Structure 1
Amino acid sequence: MQASCAAQVAFIETGDTARSTTDPDHVMNNKFRLFTLAALLAGSAAQAEDDANVLTLGGGIAGGPRYSGAAERVIGPALAIDYQMANGFYASTLRGIGHGRQLGPVNASVALGYRGERSERDRDGLGGARGSTALRGMGDVKGSATVMLQGAYEIVDGLELSAAAELPLSHRANGRTLSLGLTGTLFERATDQVTLALSANVGDRDYVRTYYGVDTAQAARSGYRQFTPKAGLYEVELGMTWRHQLDERWSVTTMLGLTALTRDAARSPLARKDTAPTGAVFVAYRF
């Protein structure tokens, strides 16, 4: 079940995203923070289904690009609150508000979330960066309320295939995303679990034009050349997570990852770096 939760949540793009809760990658790695939080909350979610309601608090340090394609890197604090009910309902600062169920080898959930804004100014907060002066003239991308649909299938013990879709309810012109991923458990024992996850992220025309495109007006204001990307694969992610259980309530999670822009996203004039390392260390306490 731990691997299942990690796989299921790792591929949501809900923050700016980031890449949020999700991000996609518009806030400093909402997506990346989801990946990390999923790992540290997985044990809690599993226990909640079998046992009782579980509240988990997490905090730590996270680092990644200032926005998707940014050359600048930022490091800052990250906090998370997650309440998982035994009946499958949950409320989380990163997972959103939703319901999930395990049906044999299949894990599925639906949630309401929020994709954060992307600013044309350097804006930093507790959740990470929300923009950069490198985007000056591009205008702000408004945040969106979203529906997140997620599913994971356990192919064999320790190996899962997952899919997630993020559909905006507000500011629908920001576009939709679909992510496909594979998560494998490399090592597991009573107190430790190491997982490796690979995901491919696809955006529709509105999404890639919103976050990687430059229209005529933006080109005139920003100095970037006009660029009209096509829908399709825009990003691939690879991440490794190590979760260490200190006792029945305390755990520490370390994550290292790499995000690579592909195709038109990598060719965008906004993409000053098409690959970006990410990392985090989280401590979690389960009530």
Structure 2
Amino acid sequence: MNKLLALALATVSGAACAQTPAINPMPDGSRDMYAGLGVQVAPRYDGSERHKTSAVPVLQVQWSNGIFISGTSVGMHLTSEPSFEVGPLLQYQPGRSENGSSKGPTGIDDALGLGSSSLLPPSPSRMAEAGNRLAGMDKIGARVLGGAFFNYYLAPQWRLTSSLLWGAGNERHGGSVDLGVQRLSTDIAPHHSLSFSAGLRLVNRDYNQAFFGVTVPEAVRSGNRAYTPAGGLELARVGVRWNWSLTPSWMLTTNLQATRLLGAAKDSPLVERPTNVTASTAIAYRF
């Protein structure tokens, strides 16, 4: 069960990568499930210097047929080989409004990708909004991204992770590749364990344009300079997770993740702070 516990908390932070729980051998027809609630302190959007405290759900379910739900990701293990994991992956990506990233399902307009498209010049009150570089920017609709994952075990507790996702942005042309390494759960004391992760995300031009670009109409409305970023390395991340098994069924899990925007994303006029930290803690119950 240590492999499952290592990834039992999956939040809806925009900085989080697609998380795929390790294969958990179970009797046919069975499932393993964690559910709970926690609190998260995270940047309002990638590159924001302001943070927001939000309640976040905890959900991880794994069925014996290989299907799993991990936070906002849904996938399926297609092999039971001990050395690697591979399968399809879907991930919900929250939208982004002038207030920053949404932390959950949004309205039908966002679900359909309908962004604001006012051609009016920015009002003095909008331009005067302190510290909000998204004021006057188009809304980005929530999306369900599709792709696949592949993980390879260097040792029983070490694995290389990778995922490919496509469909981000209002035009649905944004694509990303996440590459990482994980040290799965290691016991540090009775009922206490730590896991570690690090990784990089590469994105195409359409992804960077959606989240870090500024079109000419947006520049007129927002006061930001027009900016057309290229693709490439978008961010680097490192994280640590602490799990405390309170009882056989109850667990307290705490996660700390630092991210650093890179390349064209870092140089965007929307970015206030390229380095940021997200912290979350939650209590979960195993069913």
TM-score, scaled relative to structure 2: 0.79
1:50-199 aligned at under 5 Å gives the runs 52-91=30-69, 93-96=71-74, 98-100=75-77, 101-121=79-99, 133-168=132-167, 171-185=170-184, 187-188=186-187, 191-199=191-199
Query: Is the Cα–Cα contact under 8 Å of residues 14 and 45 in structure 2 kept in the other structure?
Result: no
**Which one is further off, 136-145 or 261-270?**
136-145
One-letter code aligned to 2:91? G
Aligned length: 262
Paired residue for 2:247?
247
Note the C-alpha offset of 1:216. Answer: 1.3
State how far apart, in whole Å, the 1-side matches of 2:4 and 2:149 are: 11
Distance 1:49 1:261, change over 3 A: farther
One-letter code aligned to 1:269? P
One-letter code aligned to 2:43? P
Instruction: List gaps (5 residues or longer) in structure 1.
Output: 11-19, 22-28
Distance 1:84 1:51, change over 3 A: same
Note the C-alpha offset of 1:163. Answer: 0.3
Paired residue for 2:222?
222
Distance 1:127 1:58, change over 3 A: farther
Distance 1:120 1:215, change over 3 A: same
Distance 1:110 1:170, change over 3 A: farther
Note the C-alpha offset of 1:284. Answer: 1.0
Query: Is the Cα–Cα contact under 8 Å of residues 140 and 170 in structure 2 kept in the other structure?
Result: no
Query: Is the Cα–Cα contact under 8 Å of residues 15 and 259 in structure 2 kept in the other structure?
Result: no
Paired residue for 1:258?
258
Q: Which runs of 4+ in 1 moved over 3 A?
A: 1-7, 30-35, 47-51, 121-128, 169-174
Higher share in helix: 1
Distance 1:63 1:160, change over 3 A: same
1:32 and 2:16 are equivalent in the alignment:
yes
Distance 1:198 1:270, change over 3 A: same
Paired residue for 1:17?
none
Percent identity, please.
Answer: 24
TM-score, scaled relative to structure 1: 0.79
Distance 1:5 1:161, change over 3 A: farther
* RMSD (Å) for aligned C-alpha atoms: 3.2
Note the C-alpha offset of 1:187. Answer: 3.3
1:263-274 aligned at under 5 Å gives the runs 263-274=263-274
One-letter code aligned to 2:47? G
Query: Is the Cα–Cα contact under 8 Å of residues 148 and 164 in structure 1 kept in the other structure?
Result: yes
One-letter code aligned to 1:194? L
Indicate the SS of the match to 1:219: helix
Distance 1:57 1:229, change over 3 A: same
Query: Is the Cα–Cα contact under 8 Å of residues 62 and 69 in structure 2 kept in the other structure?
Result: yes
Paired residue for 1:235?
235
